[in-house]
Homo-oligomer: A and B are copies of this chain.
Amino acid sequence: LLGTRTVVDDRWLRLDAERLETGRGAILDPWYLQRSRAWACAVATVPDGRVVMVEQYRRGVDAWVLELPAGDIDAGEDPAVAAARELAEETGHRASAAPVALGAWFPEPAHSTARAHGFFVSAHADPVATSHDVGEDIVVRLLAPAEVEAAIDSGHLCHAAQIGFWYAARRRGLIGD
């Protein structure tokens, strides 16, 4: 790291333009790096086996898409706590057991420090009141596992990291058929 120029620094984005020298002596300037908050998501099932999902407009996709309940981890917050909190806030479904860690991955390892934490969460069937942020417009969906996979195939569920966490939960036998 030979130098850093901050391009954006507000409550939504911290973007640096770095001057880097590689191990082989090449100079990369500017190398854009986002210093981003970590977020957590929940692959959550209710007792009848259905998966708790949310539907919302996503600007990068420019479409209403299906996603796992997810959100930024607060400063000092445990990622597992954040996953359960976001699940409850976005869908009303509270965790009925401790979340099971599925991985802590990087959605954009070249240009962002953001880390995505995935958890499997067993949830209560009956929702309590939700608590959406201003600007959030979320529809809750309870889907059978086969419907989730159909949504992956159709592109309605297209969030790369979340699809990874879904498959990770499947592979560990945490999701039924």
- Interface residues of A, Cβ cutoff 8 Å to B: 7-8, 10, 12-13, 15, 18, 20, 22-24, 26, 28, 30-34, 57-62, 65, 67, 103-114, 116, 134-135, 137, 152, 155, 158-161, 163-164, 167-168, 170-171
**Cα distance A69–B9 when bound, in Å?**
33
Q: How many chain copies? A: 2
Q: Are B60 and A109 in touch, CB under 8 angstroms?
A: yes
Chain B residues within 8 Å of A59, by CB: 18, 20, 31, 33, 109-111
**Cα distance A106–B157 when bound, in Å?**
9
Taking a contact as CB atoms closer than 8 A, the residue among B18, B109, B167 that contacts A58 in the complex is B109
Q: Looking across the interface, which residue of chain B has its beta carbon closest to that of A113?
A: B60
Q: Are A106 and B33 in touch, CB under 8 angstroms?
A: no
